[in-house]
């Protein structure tokens, strides 16, 4: 058995475009990649790879899935064989073993830490509604130009004064002290009592790629406080060097734009998103790390650094360049006017103006580096030589030989020198870098053999994430074709919108009676099926049960779907793949979705799908009764006929209700 931690590591590391690209020639079109499908003969490409979602989909034959699924389908591997293939590809060591009681406890503890972190998010956000939180915290956000919608989207909050506001609230909610301490939310005093780690600070949650809160960054508003920011310590669920502020909100836009804009501060990234520039992330209170660069690379190979315009920001940008180049990525730098940062610049300009500024002023790293240092070296041959060597050493970090040579030729032309001399310097620097890397690997191997933890800063692990990916095959059989279409519709709403709240009007028969108690689509469907009925088709029933098992764990919608796509049961994964895409057409459409918003569309369509399902269940019952008539006796036939009449009457009532809903729209 492969330990779940290793499985997660493999799935988090695997990049769908890398895996598929080993077998298929992919061509970029916008944020996606396309090719002729390897599973059926075609002349026009319909095989679609989405790096941001980590899935592939053929719109011709219907095959879809993730990296594991592709290998299972294309190479005819089992699930475990596909995992081993990926482990070898990404140099991940597998130590197979049975899950021990300790491992089970560790997994359960991690989930508890995630839950208490989410409670803290809700607590801090709720503090903005009244008292000190509203007069100080909320007022600060508004003074910085942060709008209410942005506060809600990012779950920004306020940590109140006092010693134990969060601790007391968490205890009342049933959370244990050990998890408050373990999640970095509380400090344990010598007498055993707990104190809030964050007090009198505006709070910025830090999310995983799939949207779960794992840490916080708290900013003081007091000018006399030397600790401007207090960040969560490293915990079992949070490693600073492996996470990026805003990656959850930015990942789709990064993939669509095929570019990531990197900024420094919390407010910088929030304000850029508020402005409408969504492909922006920030490091979590640390200098950029290789793990963070690799996280960006999962969505794009193009990075634009937009740090503060002062000398510290420029130096930070230049330190980041070699790290990005080492990963084979492309990097450009946008120098902001002196004294400006992305926050202030976004507040004083429109979205179009900021985009235009970036386009007009972003420079290739070599051009930026050269332009800045040439002025400093003017008239000084030694400084000029040092400048050229510095540029050569930076170019040496580029893995691709063609790119290195191209840059070397450009620099040689600019400085009117022989390109061979520059290539010699680049070659020596690369050999030196390779030797250093080899020595580091040897040190790590010795530490591993001696049972020591990895050397700080040299961990070669991908970013921590609670995300999953998997495989799918869109081939399954329906045992019950009467109920099949209606069951598919219900699963479509679960897989596409399960965590979306249904905002029924107060005069609706489905209104819960409270504005604060709005059911999600998943809650509504489960409630309507609470009579103990089960979907008639085995594949659909399996997806339904698996969905709610994950839903009850508190996972996000994207996370649930990714987990289901990764199921070893390929039939179940195939159903998920087919029904979680926009291509699926509902059996019953009351009106065009494009005429209304998603919220009002769901309020109308989800109840309608439930009514359709109820009517189909009655039809299924009617057919069962009808088939039983030839075998009925004179004693049982009247009862069967009477029940058939009742079933038809119930069907008419449902159809009339659906018709009235249609006529009122």
Does pLDDT of 381 surpass 60?
Answer: yes
Does pLDDT of 585 surpass 70?
Answer: no
- pLDDT score at 490: 93
Q: Give me the chain's average pLDDT, please.
A: 84
The average pLDDT across 191-200 equals 93
Question: What's the pLDDT tens digit per position in 20-45?
Answer: 998 888 998 877 899 998 887 788 88
Does pLDDT of 515 surpass 80?
Answer: no
Q: Which residue has the higher pLDDT, 546 or 659?
A: 546
- The CATH number that domain 242-445 falls under is 3.40.1360.10
Helix (H) or strand (E) run with residue 171 in it:
helix 165-172
Q: Are the beta carbons of 172 and 153 closer than 8 angstroms?
A: no
The average pLDDT across 234-243 equals 90
Q: What is the percent of the chain where pLDDT is above 90?
A: 35
Listed by start position, the domains of the chain span 4-89, 102-236, 242-445, 484-663
Reference 308, options 341, 352, 349, 266; nearest CA is 341
Question: What's the pLDDT tens digit per position in 289-333?
Answer: 988 998 898 778 899 999 887 778 888 888 899 999 988 899 999
- pLDDT score at 464: 27
The average pLDDT across 413-442 equals 85
- pLDDT score at 448: 64
Does pLDDT of 474 surpass 70?
Answer: no
Does pLDDT of 609 surpass 60?
Answer: yes
Distance CA 503, CA 512 (A): 10
Give the distance, in angstroms, between the CA of residue 95 and the centroid of all CA atoms in the same chain: 28
Local confidence band at 196 (pLDDT 50, 70, 90 cut-offs): very high
Using CA of residue 35, residue 38, residue 44, residue 45, what is the dihedral sign? negative
Question: What's the pLDDT tens digit per position in 119-167?
Answer: 999 999 999 999 999 999 999 999 999 999 999 999 999 999 888 999 9
- pLDDT score at 97: 62
Name the pairing type of β-strands 330-333 and 229-231.
unpaired
- pLDDT score at 193: 92
Distance CA 109, CA 118 (A): 14
* Range in 24-38, 215-229, 559-573, 622-636 with the lowest mean pLDDT: 559-573
* Range in 82-91, 145-154, 362-371, 575-584 with the lowest mean pLDDT: 575-584
**Domain 102-236 annotated CATH 3.90.980.10:** yes
Residues in Cβ contact with 241 at an 8 Å cutoff, skipping those fewer than 6 apart: 286, 289, 291, 292, 457, 459
Local confidence band at 531 (pLDDT 50, 70, 90 cut-offs): confident
Determine the topology of domain 4-89 in CATH: DNA Primase; Chain A (3.90.580)
Instruction: Classify the phi-psi angles of 550: left when phi > 0, otherwise alpha if psi is within -120 to 50, otherwise beta.
Output: alpha
656: number of Cβ within 10 Å: 10
Residues in Cβ contact with 79 at an 8 Å cutoff, skipping those fewer than 6 apart: 68, 72, 471, 568
Q: Which residue has the higher pLDDT, 183 or 439?
A: 183
Class of residue 365 by CB neighbours under 10 A (exposed 0-12, middle 13-18, buried 19+): buried
The average pLDDT across 178-188 equals 95
* Whole-Å CA distances, 510 to 498, 502, 584, 615, 617: 17, 10, 26, 18, 21
Does pLDDT of 107 surpass 50?
Answer: yes
* Range in 80-84, 224-228, 353-357, 583-587 with the lowest mean pLDDT: 583-587
Question: What's the pLDDT tens digit per position in 42-86?
Answer: 888 889 898 887 888 888 877 778 888 888 877 767 788 889 899
Local confidence band at 452 (pLDDT 50, 70, 90 cut-offs): low
Residues in Cβ contact with 172 at an 8 Å cutoff, skipping those fewer than 6 apart: none
Q: Which residue has the higher pLDDT, 274 or 39?
A: 274
């Amino acid at each position: 058995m492969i330990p779940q931690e290793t499985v997660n590591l493999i799935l988090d590391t695997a990049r769908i475009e890398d895996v598929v690209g080993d077998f298929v020639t992919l061509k970029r079109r916008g944020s996606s990649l396309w090719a002729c499908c390897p599973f059926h003969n075609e002349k026009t490409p319909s095989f679609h790879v989405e790096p941001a979602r980590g899935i592939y989909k053929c719109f011709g034959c219907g095959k879809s899935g993730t990296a594991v699924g592709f290998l299972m389908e294309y190479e005819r591997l089992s699930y475990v064989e596909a995992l081993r293939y990926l482990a070898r590809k990404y140099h991940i060591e597998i130590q197979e073993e049975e899950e021990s009681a300790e491992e089970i406890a560790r997994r359960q503890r991690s989930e508890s830490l995630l839950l208490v972190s989410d409670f803290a998010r809700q607590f801090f956000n709720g503090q903005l509604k009244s008292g000190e939180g509203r007069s100080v915290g909320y007022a600060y956000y508004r003074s910085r130009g942060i709008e209410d919608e942005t506060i809600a989207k990012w779950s920004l909050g306020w940590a109140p004064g006092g010693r134990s506001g969060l601790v007391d609230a968490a205890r009342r909610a049933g959370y244990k002290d050990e998890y408050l301490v373990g999640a970095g939310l509380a400090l344990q005093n010598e007498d055993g009592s707990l104190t809030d780690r964050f007090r009198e600070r505006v709070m910025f949650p830090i999310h995983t790629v799939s949207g779960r809160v794992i840490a916080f960054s708290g900013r003081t508003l007091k000018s006399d406080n030397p600790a401007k920011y207090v960040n969560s310590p490293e915990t079992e669920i949070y490693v600073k060097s492996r996470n990026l502020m805003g990656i959850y909100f930015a990942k789709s836009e990064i993939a669509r734009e095929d570019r990531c804009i990197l900024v420094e501060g919390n407010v910088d990234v929030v304000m850029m998103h508020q402005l409408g520039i969504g492909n922006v992330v920030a490091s979590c209170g640390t200098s950029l790390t290789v793990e963070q660069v690799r996280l960006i690379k999962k969505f794009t190979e193009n990075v634009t650094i937009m740090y503060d315009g002062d000398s510290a920001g420029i130096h930070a940008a230049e330190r980041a360049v070699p790290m990005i180049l080492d990963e084979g990525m492309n990097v450009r730098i946008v120098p902001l006017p002196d004294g400006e940062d992305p926050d202030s610049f976004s507040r004083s300009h429109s979205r179009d103006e900021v985009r235009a500024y970036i386009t007009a002023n972003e420079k290739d790293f070599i051009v930026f580096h050269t332009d800045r240092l040439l002025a400093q070296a003017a008239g000084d041959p030694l400084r000029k030589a040092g400048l050229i060597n510095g540029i050569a050493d930076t170019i040496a970090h580029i893995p691709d030989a063609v790119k290195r040579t191209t840059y070397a030729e450009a620099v040689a032309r600019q400085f009117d020198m022989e390109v061979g001399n520059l290539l010699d310097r680049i070659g020596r620097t690369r050999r030196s870098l390779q030797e250093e890397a080899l020595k580091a690997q040897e040190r790590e191997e010795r530490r591993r053999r001696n049972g020591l933890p990895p050397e700080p800063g040299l961990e070669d692990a991908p970013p921590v994430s609670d995300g999953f990916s998997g495989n799918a095959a869109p081939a399954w059989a329906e045992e019950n074709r009467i109920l099949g279409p209606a069951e598919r519709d219900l699963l479509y709403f679960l897989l596409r919108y399960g965590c979306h709240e249904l905002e029924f009007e107060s005069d609706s028969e489905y209104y819960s009676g409270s504005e604060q108690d709005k059911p999600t689509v998943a809650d509504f469907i489960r409630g309507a099926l609470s009579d103990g009925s089960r979907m008639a088709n085995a594949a659909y029933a399996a997806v339904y049960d698996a969905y709610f098992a994950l839903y009850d764990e508190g996972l996000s919608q994207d996370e649930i779907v990714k987990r289901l796509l990764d199921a070893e049961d390929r039939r179940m994964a195939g159903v998920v793949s087919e029904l979680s895409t926009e291509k699926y057409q509902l059996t019953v459409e009351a009106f065009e979705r494009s005429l209304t918003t998603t919220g009002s569309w769901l309020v109308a369509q989800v109840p309608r799908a439930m009514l359709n399902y109820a009517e189909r269940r009655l039809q299924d019952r009617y057919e069962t009764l009808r088939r039983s008539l030839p075998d009925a006796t004179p004693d049982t036939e009247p009862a069967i006929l009477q029940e058939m009449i009742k079933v038809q009457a119930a069907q008419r009532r449902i159809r009339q209700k659906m018709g009235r809903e249609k006529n009122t729209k």
